[in-house]
């Protein structure tokens, strides 16, 4: 097998805190999703990836929706004494039960072990990131910013669990700016 290829599968559940209005829940599960990526290492720590995601939106509602997402990504990684700094540029096509959208995304994130300079099996690590998302070919262009912090645990090579809190500001180029605070739990499988 060519060692330039790697594969990643993740399962995510997202819960969020928001004000839905009088008499409605302020904390709820708003999605379940499964993502799969194939990644080819070009040179150094530069990588090209293709991915697919299936998402079930509001999975406990009668009128639950769905989304298929295709992702093309270029990423590069820098490491300094256990601190990893990742940059990702993505193009995504989102096919929803009610629409088709294209998004450009740029993210910068970091993770580092909480014990020592390298992450070993059974150890915890800290994660933080910021992402800017520009969505177009919908009725109106949208700009969004997401900042997250959290903790992860490496169980064994290729398997980790992450819990993060994310602050998401949407519609930044309109007068209808909104804010959501959400909790993300993700389990990753890599090989």
Return the CATH number at 24. Answer: 2.40.128.130
Confidence category of residue 19, pLDDT binned at 50, 70, 90: low
Q: How many domains does the chain have?
A: 1
Confidence category of residue 117, pLDDT binned at 50, 70, 90: confident
Strand segments, DSSP code E, in the chain are 5-17, 27-43, 46-57, 65-80, 83-96, 100-113, 124-136, 142-156, 159-170, 178-190
Per-residue burial over 83-103, b = 16 or more CB atoms within 10 Å of its CB, e = otherwise: ebebebebebebeeeeeebeb
* Residue-level pLDDT at 55: 96
* Residue-level pLDDT at 30: 84
* Residue-level pLDDT at 25: 61
Close Cβ partners of 22 (under 8 Å, ≥ 6 residues apart)? none
Mean per-residue pLDDT, 96-123: 91
Percent of the chain scored above 90 by pLDDT?
62
* Residue-level pLDDT at 77: 92
pLDDT in tens, 48-80: 999 999 999 888 888 888 999 999 999 999 987
Q: Please say if the pLDDT value at position 21 is more than 70.
A: no
Range of the domain at 15: 5-190
Percent of the chain scored above 70 by pLDDT?
94
């Amino acid at each position: 097998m060519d060692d330039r290829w790697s594969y990643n599968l993740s399962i995510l559940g997202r819960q969020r805190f928001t004000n839905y209005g009088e008499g409605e829940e302020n904390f709820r599960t708003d999605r379940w999703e499964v993502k799969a990526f194939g990644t080819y290492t070009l040179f150094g720590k530069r990588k090209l990836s293709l991915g697919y995601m299936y998402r079930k939106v509001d999975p406990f509602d009668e009128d639950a929706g769905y989304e298929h997402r295709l992702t093309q990504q270029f990423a590069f990684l820098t490491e300094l004494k256990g601190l990893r700094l990742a940059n990702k540029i993505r193009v995504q096509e989102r096919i929803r039960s009610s629409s088709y959208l294209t998004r450009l995304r740029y993210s910068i994130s970091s993770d580092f072990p909480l014990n020592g300079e390298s992450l070993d099996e059974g150890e915890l690590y800290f994660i933080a990131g910021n992402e800017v998302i520009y969505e177009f070919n919908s009725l109106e262009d949208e700009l969004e910013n997401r900042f997250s912090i959290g903790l992860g645990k490496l169980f064994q090579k290729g398997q980790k669990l992450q819990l993060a809190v994310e602050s998401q500001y949407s519609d930044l180029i309109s007068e209808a700016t909104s804010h959501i605070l959400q909790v993300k739990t993700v389990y990753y499988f890599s090989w």
